[in-house]
């Protein structure tokens, strides 16, 4: 039995075993080797980045059945091309130290033209793969992870940058960010929200992973001195004044769940309580005695301005065996939600079927 066949079977198992809120369904709509970030082309092409595969995929639904069965490899042999974004008929790809552009890519999917539009980023593979997105002001938001588990590197490491591709320069939006592989802009305020993966080797339950909100450009979020709201690093010390100046997380997740993509739901196909919900792809743990994560969760906005944490799908675990590892989200034009899974090389579609939902409250954040 070949590896492709095994992946197809595994993706089917992930779909059939998914624990969903009442009224929702999950289907597989595409295969894409090591599927990571996704983006829509202007002509309806579904582009999918990868990490280990080194490929950028282009998928098309040519018969209108909702399945993207026509596949092209836009590029291959790239350096961890996890992050992609589409703007003005051009596909942009983050390949660690370079930002690549494929202009008019949908007219030449077989042999597209490739341009290097920026090559001034660090080339470290450790936390070097990226999630990218264009900001409302036209700049490309690019995180640069710390090249280590725990260290105190100079900028631009451990930061989130706003890159002006036309001028070839960047602004540091956030400092002290260990490894962000997902972010989104709030639909109303425009503020940047981002995930951050906490350090390893501090035990099963420390430190918490984070969801953060950027209010002021240049803010410092604590790494490597402070993890979560109050976990001081045992190696890197900061003064009380420095510690007080670090931004605290909007929300603390369980240690090692590895939040990657996050997405504010903007559609109208889900029940009203999901409007403005911040969806989180918890990719799943490796540095833990028993696995956690491997699920899709959400921060649900409350009338008083607070958030409620809720598990939407999962966990995708059979004992200690992962069944899927969610990475990123992309809203479908019909209001449903696409979810990439690099473990099975698949893209799933979460759809609401119009039945009443019944969901139990989860524990409040501590």
Check residue 10 and give its pLDDT. Answer: 87
Instruction: Show the domain range for 270.
Output: 1-31+256-348
Give me the pLDDT at residue 355, please.
Answer: 58
In this prediction, residue 362 has a pLDDT band, given cuts at 50, 70 and 90, of: very low
Mean pLDDT of 109-114: 94
- Quick one: pLDDT band at residue 357, thresholds 50, 70, 90? very low
Residue 267 within any structural domain of the chain: yes
Answer whether residue 185 is part of any domain: no
Structural domain count of the chain: 1
Mean pLDDT within 232-240: 97
Task: Judge contact between 33 and 71, C-beta under 8 A.
Answer: no
The answer as to whether 55 is a domain residue is no
The stretch 223-237 carries a mean pLDDT of 98
Percentage of the chain beyond pLDDT 90 is 93
Is the pLDDT at 192 greater than 70, yes or no?
yes
Nearest to 194 by CA among 267, 260, 149: 260
Summarize the confidence of residues 51-76 as an average pLDDT. Answer: 96
Q: Is residue 225 part of a domain?
A: no
CA-based nearest residue to 258, from 293, 230, 232, 226: 293
Give the whole-angstrom CA distance, residue 328 versus residue 78.
20
* All residues at 6 or more sequence positions from 64 whose CB lies less than 8 Å from its CB, including other chains: none
- Evaluate whether residue 284 is within a structural domain: yes
Work out the average pLDDT over 103-108: 97
| 127-153 average pLDDT score | 98
* Residue 308 forms part of a structural domain: yes
Tell me whether residue 131 is in a domain.
Answer: no
- pLDDT tens digit string along 28-38? 999 999 999 99
Residue 182: per-residue pLDDT = 98
Lowest mean pLDDT among 5-9, 51-55, 201-205, 349-353: 5-9
Question: Does any domain span residue 239?
Answer: no
Task: Enumerate residues 6+ apart whose C-beta is below 8 A from 134.
Answer: 85, 87, 140, 141
For the residues 155-168, what does the mean pLDDT come to? 98
DSSP string, 105-152: GGG-SSS---EEEE--S---STTT----EE-TTSPEEEEE--SSSS--
What residue ranges in 145-249 does DSSP mark as E strands?
Answer: 159-164, 169-175, 183-185, 192-196, 209-214, 219-220, 226-227, 231-232
Give the pair of three-digit tokens for residue 134. Answer: 């264009």
Q: What CA–CA distance (Å, rounded) separates 23 from 27?
A: 14
Q: How confident is the model at residue 9 (pLDDT cuts 50, 70, 90)?
A: confident
CB atoms within 10 A of CB 292: 20
Whether the predicted pLDDT of 359 surpasses 50: no
Q: How far apart are CA 186 and CA 278, in angstroms?
A: 9
């Amino acid at each position: 039995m070949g590896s492709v066949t095994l992946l197809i079977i595994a993706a089917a198992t992930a779909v059939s075993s998914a624990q969903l809120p009442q009224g929702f369904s999950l289907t597989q709509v595409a295969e894409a080797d090591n599927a990571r970030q996704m983006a829509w082309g202007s002509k309806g092409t579904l582009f999918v980045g990868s990490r280990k595969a080194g490929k950028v995929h282009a998928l098309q639904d040519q018969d209108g059945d909702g399945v993207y069965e026509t596949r092209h490899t836009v590029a291959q042999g790239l350096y961890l091309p996890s992050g992609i974004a589409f703007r003005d008929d051009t596909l942009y790809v983050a390949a660690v130290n370079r930002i690549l552009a494929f202009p008019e890519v949908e007219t030449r999917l077989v042999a597209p033209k490739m341009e290097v539009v920026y090559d001034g980023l660090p080339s470290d593979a450790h936390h070097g793969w990226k999630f990218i997105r264009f900001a409302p002001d036209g700049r490309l938001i690019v995180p640069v992870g710390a090249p280590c588990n725990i260290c105190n590197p100079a900028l631009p490491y451990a930061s989130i940058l706003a890159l002006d591709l036309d001028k070839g320069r960047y602004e540091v939006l956030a400092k002290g960010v260990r490894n962000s592989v997902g972010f989104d802009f709030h639909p109303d305020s425009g503020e940047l929200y981002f995930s951050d993966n906490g350090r390893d080797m501090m035990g099963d339950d420390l430190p918490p992973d984070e969801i953060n909100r950027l209010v002021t450009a240049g803010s410092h979020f604590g790494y490597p001195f402070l993890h979560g709201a109050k976990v001081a690093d045992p190696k890197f010390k900061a003064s009380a004044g420095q510690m007080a100046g670090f931004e605290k997380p909007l929300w603390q997740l369980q240690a090692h769940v590895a939040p990657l993509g996050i997405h504010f739901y903007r559609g109208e196909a889900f029940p009203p309580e999901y409007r403005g919900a911040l969806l989180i792809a918890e990719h799943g743990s490796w540095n833990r005695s028993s696995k956690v994560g491997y699920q899709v969760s959400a921060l649900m906005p409350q009338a008083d301005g607070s958030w409620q944490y809720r598990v939407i799908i999962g966990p995708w675990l059979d004992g200690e065996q992962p069944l899927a590892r969610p990475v990123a989200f992309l809203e479908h034009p019909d209001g449903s939600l696409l979810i990439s899974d690099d473990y099975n090389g698949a893209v799933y579609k979460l759809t609401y079927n119009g039945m009443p939902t019944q969901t139990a409250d989860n524990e409040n954040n501590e």
